[in-house]
Amino acid sequence: MEHEQDGVLVLAGTPIGDVADAPPRLSAELAAADVVAAEDTRRLRRLTAALGVEVSGRVVSYFEGNEASRTAELVRALVDGQRVLLVTDAGMPSVSDPGYRLVEAAVAEGVRVTAVPGPSAVLTALALSGLPVDRFCFEGFLPRKPGERAARLAEVAAEPRTMVFFESPRRLGVSLAAMAEAFGADRRAAVCRELTKTYEEVRRGPLAELAAWAEDGVLGEITVVVAGAPPADPADVGPEELAALVARREAAGQHRKEAIAEVAAELGLPKRDVFDAVVAAKKR
């Protein structure tokens, strides 16, 4: 239950590139907040200068390194009736950025949480990708370690929805190559670079082609959009492929029984057929 006498936590979207994309309410909230929690206070100063806004409230940093300790401080301010504005370097707080921990704590205290909608790299890249947008999922950043990255990709290899990833420009080529191996070299994808900025670029093509393009390095903020897995025709899936589908899920941490049930459900096959294929593969 929310307490009327308590403060309000405001999550504010900030421009992902062009400062002209700042939502109109952002300036008003920056000026009115009792506390502004910023992922990078230097970037906040540049943003407020560009918007011509003077922040009268207290400014504190709120980033991965101090998120745990500062959350309690901000919740106390909220419970004391203050208006706390949370901004990250770009886009919406909590989406692969600091914020979730504070929202969770504020909700637990019954504090009202609201948002100033703003630019989103996820939705912008999705719209520009040229891939289906009726159903999609956001996968954030892939793990840095090769084994963990391969396991994560194996986990979503059969995902039918369009997938959106964030990636570092330094790891883009390696990640695209890993996607090509896990999803197939011909799976359609789009690499969206420097969205809304001067050198915005959207490169579309098969994963293998994009991996070759990125091999020598790419600069800028990167969002990758990958088409979902095409529906499988059960008649075209042999025992070895069934066993491989189960093995991928097991590698991602699923129990074999659950993996067998999921593969059977996705292909419309009896669970016994999938189980027999797994047993036969083990014997081989």
Which of 218, 163, 152, 217 lies closest to 187 in space, CA to CA? 163
Which of 12, 35, 7, 32 lies closest to 22 in space, CA to CA? 12
pLDDT tens-digit map of 172-194: 999 999 999 999 999 999 999 99
* Contact assessment for residue 260 and residue 267, using Cβ atoms and an 8 Å cutoff: no
Q: Three-state secondary structure along 36-55?
A: EEECCHHHHHHHHHHHCCCC
Cα(111)–Cα(4) distance, integer angstroms? 8
Which of 102, 40, 41, 42 lies closest to 69 in space, CA to CA? 102
**Strand partners for 8:** 83, 112
pLDDT higher than 80, residue 87 = yes
* Contact assessment for residue 202 and residue 192, using Cβ atoms and an 8 Å cutoff: yes
pLDDT higher than 80, residue 131 = yes
pTM of the predicted model over 0.95: no
Cα(9)–Cα(106) distance, integer angstroms? 8
Which of 161, 174, 182 lies closest to 210 in space, CA to CA? 174
Supply the pLDDT for residue 5. Answer: 55
Percent of the chain with pLDDT over 70: 96
Which of 119, 120, 109, 61 lies closest to 86 in space, CA to CA? 61
Mean pLDDT value of segment 156-168:
94
**Which range has the worst mean pLDDT, 64-78, 147-161, 199-213, 244-258?**
244-258
Mean pLDDT value of segment 44-60:
96
Supply the pLDDT for residue 266. Answer: 80
Average per-residue pLDDT for the chain: 92
Supply the pLDDT for residue 232. Answer: 64
Mean pLDDT value of segment 49-64:
96
Mean pLDDT value of segment 5-9:
84
Supply the pLDDT for residue 235. Answer: 67
Cα(175)–Cα(91) distance, integer angstroms? 23
Supply the pLDDT for residue 1. Answer: 47
Mean pLDDT value of segment 7-18:
96
Mean pLDDT value of segment 150-163:
93
Supply the pLDDT for residue 101. Answer: 95
Supply the pLDDT for residue 248. Answer: 82
